[in-house]
DNA sequence: AGACGTTTAATTGTCTGACAAATGAAAATT
DNA sequence: AATTTTCATTTGTCAGACAATTAAACGTCT
């Protein structure tokens, strides 16, 4: 592991990259302890604050964890799916909001990917998944629910559907697509009528899943996607019209 | 934005979180300049190195960028899809390797998600996408290609297929699933026979895509998934047998 | 000998103060 | 007016110090 003091890049960035590469190449194993900050600053010939900045960078990506005390130090962190979920959701949400991704594009991505779970979920869904989905669907039928809570429940429903596919890699990959939709959905005001329709789709999806009918799940998901898109479009149109009038 | 000096968490982590929240809530807009490090250290009542550690954390997530000089400083960064790709691939690769995700699980996730692109890609594929896919398929038929280069070309082929769906959100979400497979694929030694079979599938997929036949794309993808899985299984079995004999 | 405090050494977390390097803006000069 | 010089601002880096934490080593008492 070497760094170039004359490179245009920050030293701390170079050091972070060197250590990151060592982790990714398997040179540093999970739970292995890195040299202490003092030792690293000697090895790389930089000061301790610079080493610390590099370690903080790696910590932000959950690649290492640090511990104080006599036997403390920085350790290669086993990246857990739950940790990765959070980062994935943060990144996805910011990507959508900062790049002016349209509701339609995000919605299309979400449902396209989610439909790919239909077959697997039908095979593997447990009673637990069904119970969660029914509970959320029931919650969604409460008229007292705020729009925000309705959206949150919608996300929980779809997350249960994705988890029912029983593949942690899929759950991880779709966490971003499903959760990042929430801020976009929150811009919609749901009428009692539209809530009812969505709840109906959710019931149909859950029923089909219970009967392990993957094709039906796919069909209803597709219909729900269309309906959601239509709903969003009408909101956008209405907003556009209001703008023109004012 | 306030922090708690008595919290168990690091001050730099708290500060990073405060700024991250401000960005995600829209309190800080894209390209907006943050206060200088000196000002931030006054505001949060911490030293400059601590502020810097916080900023490096945010930099590692591409949430901010920094610039030296008179009008420099830290700016809220527009998170680009290309930047997010890299992080996504890093995280996905580490997730698979650190959690002992089986080839089967990763492969299932990859093809399940990829198949969800079949319909969209059939509608929207351009001549460019087809050309890339044919070029990669042709490269794969060169016997002189190393296994590693063969895998890299395979990834490029599938990335083109995903991109053909014409939805940047899908491309982003699938970047991890597709690229993170490469290290796992690299463990397989491809015989001339198996390469030929894979190239055949790739040709069929490209043909179907050219004819905008989404169902056929889906079918061939599914067949390729099965074949890849069988291939990997035979490698694993052979390795197991060798282990037992030794 | 074994259980239980105490000390100690190692390590990260934080602070202070300083200087170097980059960079754009303002001032001076031609 | 154009060009060069100076300068102020800001990040990047360094050195050294002290506080907080923690586990292991050490003593002490039973």
d(CA A203, CA B154): 41
Residue B235: the pLDDT is 81
Domain boundary among B26, B58, B76: B76
Query: What is the residue-averaged pLDDT of chain A?
Result: 93
**pLDDT tens digits for range A135-180:** 999 999 999 999 999 999 999 999 999 999 999 999 999 999 999 9
Nearest to B96 by CA among A167, A87, A56, A65: A167
Residue A6 Rama label (left phi>0; alpha psi -120 to 50; beta): alpha
Residue A162: the pLDDT is 97
B38 CB contact with strand D at below 7 Å: yes
Q: Domain check: are B132 and B235 in the same one?
A: yes
Those of residues 123-182 in B touching chain A at CB distance below 8 A are 165, 167-170, 172-174, 176-177
Contact A53 B53 (CB under 8 A): yes
Q: Domain check: are B35 and B86 in the same one?
A: no
Q: DSSP class of residue B45?
A: T
Indicate the number of domains in chain A.
Answer: 2
Mention every residue, 6+ apart, whose C-beta is less than 8 A from residue B151: B182, B185, B186
Structural tokens at position B141: 């038929």
Those of residues 62-101 in A touching chain B at CB distance below 8 A are 63, 78-81, 84, 87-88, 90-99, 101
Q: Domain check: are A93 and A202 in the same one?
A: yes
CB A199 within 8 A of CB A154: no
Mention every residue, 6+ apart, whose C-beta is less than 8 A from residue B162: B114, B117, B121, B170, B171, B174, B175, B178
Which residues interact with strand C by a CB < 7 Å criterion?
A 34, 36-38, 48-49, 52, 55, 66-74; B 10-12, 45-50, 53, 67-72
C-alpha pair distances (Å), B140 with each of B136, B189, B193: 6, 14, 12
Q: Domain check: are A89 and A66 in the same one?
A: no
Residue B6 lies in a domain: no
Residue B5: the pLDDT is 67
Domain boundary among A27, A44, A76: A76
Q: Domain check: are A87 and A136 in the same one?
A: yes
Nearest to A161 by CA among A137, A194, A193: A137
**pLDDT tens digits for range A40-90:** 999 999 999 999 999 999 999 999 999 999 999 999 999 999 889 889 999
Domain boundary among B76, B92, B118: B76
User: Looking at CA atoms only, how far is residue B88 from chain A in angstroms?
Assistant: 8
Structural tokens at position B48: 């400059």
Residue A97 lies in a domain: yes
Residue B155 lies in a domain: yes
Question: Does ipTM surpass 0.95 in this model?
Answer: no
Q: Find the Å distance, CA of residue A234 to C1' of nucleotide C11.
A: 60
**pLDDT tens digits for range A96-126:** 999 989 999 999 999 999 999 999 999 999 9
Percent of chain A with pLDDT over 70: 97
Q: How many residues does chain B have?
A: 246
Residue A25 lies in a domain: yes
CATH number at residue A19: 1.10.10.10
Task: Name the residue range of residue B26's domain.
Answer: 11-76
DSSP letter for each residue of B160-192: HHHHTT--HHHHHHHHHHHHTHHHHHTTSPPPH
Please check the confidence at residue A1 and state whether its pLDDT lies above 70: no
d(CA B212, CA B194): 27
CATH number at residue B216: 1.20.120.530
Q: Domain check: are B134 and B234 in the same one?
A: yes
Q: Domain check: are A55 and A87 in the same one?
A: no
* pLDDT, block means (10 residues), chain B with 246 residues: 73 97 95 97 96 98 95 96 90 93 93 94 97 97 94 96 96 92 88 94 97 96 94 84 73
By 3-state DSSP, what share of chain A in percent is helix, strand and coil, each rounded to 5? 70, 5, 25
DSSP letter for each residue of B100-115: T--HHHHHHHHHHHHH
Burial group, residue A144, by CB count within 10 angstroms (0-12, 13-18, 19+): exposed
Residue A35 lies in a domain: yes
């Amino acid at each position: 592991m070497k760094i170039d003091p004359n490179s245009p890049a920050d030293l701390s960035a170079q050091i972070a990259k060197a250590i990151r590469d060592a982790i990714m190449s398997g040179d540093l194993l999970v739970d292995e302890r890195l040299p202490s900050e003092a030792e690293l600053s000697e090895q790389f010939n930089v000061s301790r604050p610079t080493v610390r900045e590099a370690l903080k960078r790696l910590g932000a990506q959950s690649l290492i964890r640090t511990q104080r005390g006599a036997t403390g130090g920085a350790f290669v962190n086993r990246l857990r799916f739950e940790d990765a979920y959070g980062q994935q959701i943060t990144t996805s949400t910011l990507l959508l909001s900062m790049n002016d991704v349209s509701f339609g594009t995000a919605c299309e991505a979400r449902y396209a990917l989610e439909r790919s779970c239909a077959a697997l979920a039908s095979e593997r869904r447990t009673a637990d998944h069904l119970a969660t989905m029914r509970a959320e669907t029931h919650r969604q039928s409460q008229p007292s629910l705020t729009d925000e809570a309705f959206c949150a429940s919608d996300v929980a429903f779809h997350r249960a559907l994705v988890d029912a596919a029983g593949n942690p890699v899929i759950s991880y990959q779709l966490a971003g697509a499903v959760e990042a939709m929430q801020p976009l959905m929150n811009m919609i005001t749901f009428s009692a009528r539209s809530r009812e329709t969505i709840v109906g789709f959710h019931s149909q999806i859950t029923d089909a899943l219970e009967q392990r009918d993957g094709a039906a799940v796919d069909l209803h998901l597709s219909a729900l996607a269309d309906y959601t898109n239509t709903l969003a479009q009408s909101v956008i149109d209405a907003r556009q019209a209001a703008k023109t009038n004012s």
